[in-house]
Structure 1
């Protein structure tokens, strides 16, 4: 806890400085080739910041920036030499920038199979505003990502699953630093949320497979959230909603800014108004605070983030094994801090140093059974990268991970001995990008990991891309990935071998101004999956890693922001054929958490006449398999398909005052995610069962958001 107090003290010390705010300046112009024709899709940005834009179909660009004095403007476009221009802010006139074609340059971005680059990046799939304004997401990063192909979110627990992998096969990072506890608390099939606000982040790298050698310890996917090192203008944000209160303030002095936010959430008003499927004794409640320090210069960027959250939830719910209602209570305190430092060095070298630390203390109570546990996570990262010339660049680095988990169980006056595990992991990695032919690009990397049991392994990764033309790319990616068993297994048997997966992905991508199409075929094979005897892991049973499996599938994604004025939409579809022999399965089956078919339509429309944005999301998921012990055979039944329609509306009373209304599952459907069966037969010789369903048919949110700043156009539309 002393680290939190130190951080708060430093933050308050920085706040003591006088505030300095600069009005945003407009940077606009035209990017052309040597024949004076406009270049569409060129990236124009200020070096060392996230200020920038992409040229439209005619080559024009415009963006605002709070930078002042001298800036370095970078201009890149596929098939052209990059250009750097020193400018003085504010500009006296529009810019005209000419790029020279070059057949020997690696483009800033080559679309790779299995990778979605989201945010302020080329070939973006979603921006941060997309995430928070997607109907049904309720500002939850994880819920918004399920509208992308390859991603499913389990309705009964709210966790992200990628291409047939269970939720534990996806790891979350902030600025390349692992987050040990990325979700809020839960209990007995209550869905969780992502712990972090999407508007803290300016870019998101979501991998659906075959991810970079920079990351590891994930069988299926990584979600890397990137914060902006750019200091923010001074402002104050206030919000009042049916669920709670929030307040935030940002102060700025030169190139340094400090932001402090507090938030209180309670679902008690919601549970009083809308009927619930369970009896709440203490509806979900959270009180949280966060502080962010940003600093930048021409040669470095520093970002320090720290957060604290206290959570509590309690309810009575029917438990099929007990044959009665059981009272459950969960309480936790979570502390997380993340610091990243980037140094720009001579000769195109860049050095990144990162530190992430987390502490979670959680107590779960089921009737008189009490289960307290503590988790401590630490990640230290050191990465070096260099661009040798226009055809070759590379990076390499070292990782150190520490994790300690401790748990015990109390039942009345009886207390079990403490059990848990401690992990020390070290990893080294390196990767290069090379243009081997005018239209062929190679990314090749290797990751070496050494774990606590002195077991080591190499994970090669490679991607080969072919540029069909300026708008079309085909690529093939392959990689080997390892991951340690989950906490629920490690705490009983920490010396199990790591699980393994091989990825092979073939992709076609079309990217034009305002439009994007992605088609991917993938194959994933598993080995050394954890297996055990009973449905739930416990200390009394033995574990082994002789499980295996395979997943084959197709993903389709289409996005259009241009065809209809003020309308943007995207459509995604995934077919996932999974067969896995893991956990307590009798043989390889389609896991009960995987739907073979799922797709979604997301649309957003701006109505200028009434200063409003309306959104709609419709998601359809095929039925999921489950095993009915009252019938012959194994995993012989499927739940009914699920159709969920959600809407939202944001109305600008003034540029700085907004009313936001969101409703999920408007049609009031009652989805069933699966069934839980009793361990033993009843007196009639039947296994009783319990349906896994949402606690309420729909969720409704109403809020008022007010921003106070010198810039009268600042608002919280991005936070909705």
Structure 2
């Protein structure tokens, strides 16, 4: 036995020596710009042999493999390197020099003039749908929520986003890349229309306050790009109930999760609220709105994704206002609107290209009537009726040229057919028909040069059949990473816009309106904290000028101009104060423009020099309740008493209204909190807008001779509401909590 053990030991020892002598050591160093790189994985392809580089970039390992092999060097931040080697009986030294590989996460992002709210960047200075719902004073509307961010004016007497010295008409709205020609419901002068679209249908948004992409046009100031939800996770249904609205939603998903459809209906009526609260506006018929919308989503076998969204709504209201004229004592503006919108998009990857095509179609009808009364008796009407049919189609083709670089190109077609008719006191109706077809071609390259520098260069060309003109608009932006936390961005661009259809008559013979943007931004981002500092300058050319003749505006041959400049600061913090999410924004604006009936360059009546907003929310788990506060301060807006005399606009008087202040509060209670596997979500909401009851004024309206004036007030100074949102099928309780924290 002893002899057998000795022989076995000797055999194993001999085998070990043979094995040792058959191994080959492979070593080397991995460098980037002559510096060693740590944590690089070095592996022999199709084997388990390999090593990881140390902090000096060195590595070594042993292998028994022989012959031709491939040595692979890989690291998430660097491009993979492969080297062919031949393994014999001698040790090998293999060095490698790697190149930086930039992916979409590491690449510096160009953000000058842009605030994004999407799944990818929810932690930045963005507003998600849940943010909007839980922001006190937002009224659940996307555009109202963005008024708490820098760059947007608090122009509550008119719908739209008034951005950096621009009018509400200078902002355009897109859903899934398709143009929305009437984003707001019909309204009467002095009362802003509400959004026609439910905030909950959107999964993200990009709001550009200037310098936006060449993929979009026909907007002098900004664009709001909204992206509707994709395929739902589960079938579900929900409903909401408030004293002023009632709605329900149903969403169905098939078992294979390749097809879904949904239907949503809402009724909005302020009738009950006007009887409970003290409204400054005397409603003969309170604002009413009925909307129905539907959607379907299809994931095709070839990898494409088809998305449809459509809506139909009607709205109406009648108000009574004291007359400012001498020959009658009351006027009753009333409006009735009907709107329909359809959007269809298709996205598909084709080899190295991504194709994204879409089209939208809408019909908007608006009947505005101003009843003129004296001592309760009707003495006539002013009627302004309009009907618009709009069609938009676009195609974008994208090719990636690196992990964080791409080239996009495409075209957009826009058709606008407007018919309007107006009459004063049963006079012969004045009719106007507008047919305009806009063709746009665009291309844009987005290039990342390493982790620290990115550029975007775009060009857009447009032709208007009505103006019979082409324009060419270059766009450029860049970003440079100063350090891991600090990034600087700049943007430059030229933007054109066809004047609003109400000014385009057969005698109109002017150019595209033009704005040139210059933007510089510096941003600091870290875990749950963002600081943005931005400065901008806008130069306006070819603005429309008019003379106000009673209830109508007549376009004159002269063209207006102007400028806007300012600075903006945004600080958003979810970390410093325990369980409190808050942000503070400040905007300073200096602007002058000569347009419409302004006799000379004036500070716009819809803008204020200083705007401050503070928004904070805190969720208390033990109480299942979220508390939300917001405060808005706006310095006094100017007002102008301008009359028409001898075919000229004459300034009779001017002034500044008092500063605007509003403190808002809301709370939301989540009764489902703590219930495991509860396929339901319930949120009870209550709130007060302008809780301190400040007597805010938007401006003044004047009689035709400028002798009599009256303030333009909010519909109500203080608004109180309570309601519930309940859904079944999907539990969004944690999402609500996460967004509050």
TM-score by length of 1: 0.82
2:334 aligned with 1:329, yes or no?
yes
* Number of equivalent positions: 623
**In structure 2, what is the Cα distance between the partners aligned to 1:233 and 1:428?**
40
Q: 1:579 aligned to 581, 592, 606, which one?
A: 592
**In structure 1, what is the Cα distance between the partners aligned to 2:523 and 2:731?**
40
Q: 2:716 aligned to 670, 688, 696, which one?
A: 696
2:463 aligned with 1:456, yes or no?
no
1:264-288 deviation line (CA, Å, top 9, x unaligned): 1110000001112232211011111
**In structure 2, what is the Cα distance between the partners aligned to 1:138 and 1:431?**
37
**In structure 1, what is the Cα distance between the partners aligned to 2:454 and 2:738?**
36
Q: 1:345 aligned to 336, 344, 350, which one?
A: 350
2:369 aligned with 1:365, yes or no?
yes
- Bigger Cα displacement from structure 2, 323-332 vs 334-343: 323-332
What SS does structure 2 have at the residue aligned with 1:129? helix
What SS does structure 2 have at the residue aligned with 1:595? coil
1:394-430 deviation line (CA, Å, top 9, x unaligned): 1001000001111112456544142131110000000
How is 1:584-599 mapped onto 2 (pairs within 5 angstroms)?
584-599=597-612
Contact 1:113 1:506 in 2 (8 A): yes
**In structure 2, what is the Cα distance between the partners aligned to 1:321 and 1:270?**
31
**In structure 2, what is the Cα distance between the partners aligned to 1:34 and 1:378?**
56
Gap change, CA 1:320 and 1:513, over 3 Å in 2: same
**In structure 1, what is the Cα distance between the partners aligned to 2:450 and 2:735?**
48
Look up the match of 1:305: 309
Q: Give 1 or 2 for the bigger CA radius of gyration.
A: 2
What is the CA-CA distance between 1:194 and the residue it aligns to?
2.0
What is the CA-CA distance between 1:585 and the residue it aligns to?
1.1
**In structure 1, what is the Cα distance between the partners aligned to 2:530 and 2:651?**
45
**In structure 2, what is the Cα distance between the partners aligned to 1:82 and 1:149?**
40
Gap change, CA 1:574 and 1:714, over 3 Å in 2: closer
What is the CA-CA distance between 1:463 and the residue it aligns to?
0.5
**In structure 2, what is the Cα distance between the partners aligned to 1:639 and 1:300?**
55
**In structure 2, what is the Cα distance between the partners aligned to 1:665 and 1:35?**
57
TM-score by length of 2: 0.80
Look up the match of 1:281: 284
What is the CA-CA distance between 1:494 and the residue it aligns to?
4.8
What is the CA-CA distance between 1:495 and the residue it aligns to?
4.3
Look up the match of 1:105: 102
Look up the match of 1:650: 668
- Bigger Cα displacement from structure 2, 222-231 vs 566-575: 222-231
**In structure 1, what is the Cα distance between the partners aligned to 2:360 and 2:237?**
28
How is 1:160-239 mapped onto 2 (pairs within 5 angstroms)?
160-239=161-240
Contact 2:125 2:572 in 1 (8 A): no
Look up the match of 1:672: 697
What SS does structure 1 have at the residue aligned with 2:143? helix
What SS does structure 2 have at the residue aligned with 1:409? strand
How is 1:76-115 mapped onto 2 (pairs within 5 angstroms)?
80=77, 103-105=100-102, 107-108=104-105, 110-115=109-114
Look up the match of 1:147: 148
Q: 2:630 aligned to 610, 617, 625, which one?
A: 617
Contact 1:142 1:193 in 2 (8 A): no
**In structure 2, what is the Cα distance between the partners aligned to 1:580 and 1:188?**
22
Mind listing any 5+ residue stretches in structure 1 that lack a counterpart?
Answer: 1-32, 37-77, 84-99, 682-686
Gap change, CA 1:545 and 1:390, over 3 Å in 2: farther
What is the CA-CA distance between 1:533 and the residue it aligns to?
2.4
What SS does structure 2 have at the residue aligned with 1:654? coil
Mind listing any 5+ residue stretches in structure 2 that lack a counterpart?
Answer: 1-36, 41-74, 81-96, 372-380, 644-649, 674-680
**In structure 1, what is the Cα distance between the partners aligned to 2:692 and 2:725?**
27
What is the CA-CA distance between 1:499 and the residue it aligns to?
0.5
Gap change, CA 1:260 and 1:717, over 3 Å in 2: farther
Gap change, CA 1:710 and 1:534, over 3 Å in 2: closer
**In structure 1, what is the Cα distance between the partners aligned to 2:486 and 2:409?**
30
Look up the match of 1:263: 266
What SS does structure 2 have at the residue aligned with 1:153? coil
**In structure 2, what is the Cα distance between the partners aligned to 1:471 and 1:704?**
41
How is 1:300-449 mapped onto 2 (pairs within 5 angstroms)?
300-321=304-325, 324-347=329-352, 349-367=353-371, 368-390=381-403, 392-411=405-424, 413-436=426-449, 439-449=452-462
**In structure 1, what is the Cα distance between the partners aligned to 2:284 and 2:551?**
28
**In structure 2, what is the Cα distance between the partners aligned to 1:159 and 1:546?**
24
What is the CA-CA distance between 1:175 and the residue it aligns to?
1.3
